Structure 1
Amino acid sequence: MTDAHGELGSLLRSWRDRRSPADVGTPTYGVRRAAGLRREELAALAGVSVDYVVRLEQGRARTPSAQVVAALGRALQLDRHEQDHLYRLAGLQPPGEALVGTHIPPGVQRLVSRMGDNPIAVFTAAWDLLTWSPTWAALFGEPAGRTAWQRNLVAQAFLADAAVGQVGRARYPDGGAGFRASLVADLRRTQGRHPHDPSLRALIERLQSGSPEFAQLWRSGAVGEHLSEQKTIDHPVVGAVEVDCDVFTVSGSELRIVTMTAATGTPAAEKLDFLRVSGVNSVA
């Protein structure tokens, strides 16, 4: 009989060895004895402790949560089959089509890493933020220290408690009414594809109870797709930044890639470049 826990540790080590820091956008320092990721690098990418990674690889930690498994899969850039196998080795059921997908394909991971000079982020179909570039963090504030609720774009748009900690704030000619209506119509489209996802249901219920505007828009029954648009981001350090916001859907997935760009040589491009170089992501 296969020792599932032993295989889990062995595979984690193998998957860690095949990923270089360059693959995941991690800078390298000093002499490296191996080309793969170090345990501390994997731990940082997955948001867990180094000790926990050690215990997983040695088979001493046997029941990682679904959230940890998902984070490890993203950090290691596993494909769908590898990700599902990791869930099973951890004694968990792989997420099915009934749930909103959170898996980020390796190609999308590389895209975010290599386009990091621009604000770029990846969201689920429920608009939960999964990963982002350093320039995204510099423009909007570092998401890593925020809760999953505070990283949800729809929650940020409608509820003040979810927007706490944001740095750059989007500004629209109509006050954002069109943007918010578009998000609600898009979220209803997602709800139609995943009516039994408990996390999505809880998100919608919390928004309905917390925002009269969201509740009214939800009752309207509008179904649509959130599209690209121009917007102005008011940042406390560099001021107003006019950007083109483009939303791309990943082929074979419901993930949304959101990018903010400005034409070369414009004041907005210079401001984004300053944020990228300075690493500003918080304001005292």
Structure 2
Amino acid sequence: MGLSGHGRRRAQGLRREELAGLAGVSVDYLVRLEQGRSRRPSRPIVTALARALQLDEAENALLHQAAGLPVPSGRTVPVHIPPGVQRLLIRMTDYPVAVYAADWSLITWNPLWSAVCGDPAGSPAADRNVIRATFGAPPDWANTHGPAEEIDRALVADLRQAVTTYPQDEQLRALVAEVSAASPRFESLWRSGVAGRHLSSAKTIHHRLVGDLVLDCDVLTVTGSDLRITVYTAAAGSTTAERLEFLRVGAVHTVTP
């Protein structure tokens, strides 16, 4: 997502305020963790801290152990973003980019993605899931429209593959049960065993500031991590490209990548 400016840097590394901002926690809570006054951080907080610090797999395991949490294993949907992918995301500032887990839960995004799609930072983590947004009531930031039939089939097929890959993930099974009960369409697709896969597709985003954005959407996979990187691009010289640049400049003024 990015770092806000905090003046001249005298030493290498993240400042406490920067780490707190990247991890989505308060500075006060981070201080309490450092001082041992808060001894049981939740798994989402530890995961967010590991991501902000760009820890590798071994370092991430050590951080979980230090927090008294089980070390992440292959039994649950992984949400750890490898350092190389994190560095790639930091440099991809010209286009809206977001990273999802195998169950299509939103993990992280860049400033332009927030400027284009809306900022999900204020939404509960449970609401940042494309399956829920597609087959239930979408949150305020989910304002993307595309080929619904193709997308629905691909999402259900992806979720089925995730359940097959991570059969012991209780939250994943709960997600399937929840959406099945809420959406007859999802239940029908799920029971039918429908197959599908994500291809490049055109989507239209109705933006309240600049108008409609007609974007090409590509979903890239990360070998060995089961992550999905979603990238929106626009044809060079198009009206949408000009509108994207306008939003990008505004995002840069708000957040320093």
Q: If the TM-score is normalised by the length of the shorter chain, which range does it land in?
A: over 0.9
- Contact 2:99-2:230 at 8 Å conserved across structures: yes
Report the CA distance shift for 1:27/1:166 in structure 2 as closer, same or farther (over 3 A).
closer
Equivalent position of 2:255 in the other structure: none
Equivalent position of 1:17 in the other structure: none
**Aligned to 1:62, which of 8, 19, 39?**
39
Equivalent position of 1:129 in the other structure: 106
1:185 and 2:157 correspond: yes
Instruction: List aligned pairs for 1:109-128, cutoff 5 A.
Output: 109-128=86-105
Q: Secondary structure at the match of 1:205?
A: helix
**Aligned to 1:170, which of 135, 142, 145?**
145
**Aligned to 1:254, which of 211, 222, 226?**
226
Larger gyration radius, structure 1 or structure 2: 1
Q: Which runs of 5 or more structure 2 residues have no equivalent in the other structure?
A: 253-257
Cα RMSD of the aligned pairs, angstroms, is 1.7
**Aligned to 1:263, which of 192, 211, 235?**
235
Measured against aligned partners, the alpha-carbon deviations of 1:222-250 in whole angstroms (never above 9, x if no partner) come to 24433332222222222221111111111
Q: Secondary structure at the match of 2:125?
A: coil
Q: Secondary structure at the match of 2:226?
A: coil
Q: How far apart, in 2, do the equivalents of 1:74 and 1:31 lie?
A: 24
1:95 and 2:67 correspond: no
Counting matched residue pairs gives 252
Give the TM-score taking structure 1 as reference length. Answer: 0.84
Which structure has more RCO (C-alpha within 8 Å, separation ≥ 6)?
Answer: 2
Equivalent position of 1:238 in the other structure: 210
Q: How far apart, in 2, do the equivalents of 1:150 and 1:59 lie?
A: 31
**Aligned to 2:246, which of 254, 274, 277?**
274
Greater alpha carbon shift after TM alignment, 60-69 vs 210-219: 60-69
Q: How far apart, in 2, do the equivalents of 1:254 and 1:169 lie?
A: 23
Equivalent position of 1:8 in the other structure: none
**Aligned to 1:196, which of 163, 168, 191?**
168
**Aligned to 1:85, which of 40, 47, 62?**
62
Deviation at 1:197, TM superposition (A): 0.5
Equivalent position of 1:142 in the other structure: 119
Moved segments of 4+, more than 3 Å: none
Equivalent position of 1:108 in the other structure: 85
Q: Secondary structure at the match of 1:60?
A: coil
Q: Which runs of 5 or more structure 1 residues have no equivalent in the other structure?
A: 1-23
Measured against aligned partners, the alpha-carbon deviations of 1:53-112 in whole angstroms (never above 9, x if no partner) come to 122222332221111111100110100110011111111111211100000111111111
Q: Secondary structure at the match of 2:219?
A: strand
Greater alpha carbon shift after TM alignment, 54-63 vs 127-136: 54-63
Measured against aligned partners, the alpha-carbon deviations of 1:138-158 in whole angstroms (never above 9, x if no partner) come to 111101001223210111111
Equivalent position of 2:23 in the other structure: 46
Deviation at 1:30, TM superposition (A): 2.0
